[in-house]
Amino acid sequence: MNLQAVKSIYLFEMARMKRTILQSVVSPVLSTSLYFIVFGAAIGSRIEEVNGVQYGAFIVPGLMMLTLLQNSISNASFGIYFPKFTGTIYETLSAPISFFEIVLGYVGAAATKSLILGIIILATAHLFVDIRIAHPFWMVFFLVLTAVTFSLFGFIIGIWADNFEKLQLIPLLVVTPLVFLGGSFYSIDMLPEFWQTVTLANPVLYLISGFRWSFYETSDVSVAVSIAMITIFLAICLTVVWWMFKTGYRLKA
């Protein structure tokens, strides 16, 4: 493996976080703080507990997942799209480096940035509510697996997109609504039976449910099912990325 090439791509992508610190870190932290103020204070005053957990603390895993998914996708998609836009991607493709090493560099950097942001969001949440983590190992497991999987998904979007509008299309019109409707701010047990069944078709529900279980040992679906769902999605993303590089889909002129 060409570790020097992987390191070069990784460090170059990580350096972008330093150059755009306001957009990469400050903005998500401020947004999360506003969510705590609006949902934690306004709604929390009417809903004291959900499944035995204080409402302000209950929404922490959902807010972390919301931020993690959005940033994993945007970091990875922009990371690979910009070289395509400027034409420098051809230098990378012609270099003595495999597609696996290219993906490792870009996706690794995107996932790392998302994990750093996730830790900052968790620290910010401590300023507003008391949080307990019942299963630290599984919390980290879900955090890392989700960051890697959705960074791969963002990488796919970055290759697929041929303009900046398409780059934001799926995150804004698909991913964000799925996160909000996936139990980020409520338990599906609070919904009518029909809508509970509909919500079970939302794949993001399984991520949030499993992640919330690692905090408070309460979940809407089985933890084993949550792990299986995210693993299947990871396998699908890996397969699609492999196919894109094998066929040169929107990578080769």
List pLDDT tens digits, range 135-153: 999 999 999 999 999 999 9
Its domain, for residue 243, covers: 3-247
- Tell me the average pLDDT of the chain: 88
Predicted pLDDT of residue 44:
62
Residue 9 lies in a domain: yes
Residue 52 lies in a domain: yes
Range name among 9-18, 36-45, 49-58, 216-225 with the lowest pLDDT average = 36-45
Residue 151 lies in a domain: yes
Predicted pLDDT of residue 251:
85
Residue 106 has pLDDT above 70, yes or no: yes
Predicted pLDDT of residue 67:
87
Check if the beta carbon of residue 166 is closer than 8 Å to that of residue 160: yes
Stretch 11-25: mean pLDDT: 81
Which H or E run contains 244?
A: helix 223-247
Stronger pLDDT, 144 or 19, i.e. the higher one: 144
Please give the tally of structural domains in the chain. Answer: 1
Stronger pLDDT, 33 or 98, i.e. the higher one: 98
Instruction: Give me the phi and psi of 53, to 5 degrees please.
Output: -115, 135
Check if the beta carbon of residue 115 is closer than 8 Å to that of residue 19: no
DSSP characters over 174-236: IIHHHHHTTTSSS-GGGS-HHHHHHHTT-HHHHHHHHHHHHHHS--SS-HHHHHHHHHHHHHH
Residue 188 lies in a domain: yes
222 band by pLDDT with thresholds 50, 70 and 90? very high
Stronger pLDDT, 106 or 123, i.e. the higher one: 106
Q: Which residue has the tokens 């499993």?
A: 210
**Bridge partner residues of 50 (DSSP):** 53
Residue 236 lies in a domain: yes
Stretch 153-180: mean pLDDT: 90
Stretch 28-35: mean pLDDT: 79
Residue 86 lies in a domain: yes
Query: Closest Cα partner for 65 from 183, 167, 158?
Result: 183
Residue 253 lies in a domain: no
In 25-175, which ranges are continuous DSSP H helix?
A: 27-35, 55-58, 60-86, 89-94, 99-126, 136-160, 164-170
253 band by pLDDT with thresholds 50, 70 and 90? low
Check if the beta carbon of residue 110 is closer than 8 Å to that of residue 79: yes
40 band by pLDDT with thresholds 50, 70 and 90? low
Predicted pLDDT of residue 51:
82
pLDDT tens, residue by residue, 58-96: 888 988 998 899 889 999 999 999 998 888 888 888 888
Dist. CA 71–CA 240, nearest whole Å: 20
168 band by pLDDT with thresholds 50, 70 and 90? confident
Stretch 155-167: mean pLDDT: 91
Residue 252 lies in a domain: no
Close Cβ partners of 27 (under 8 Å, ≥ 6 residues apart): none
25 band by pLDDT with thresholds 50, 70 and 90? confident
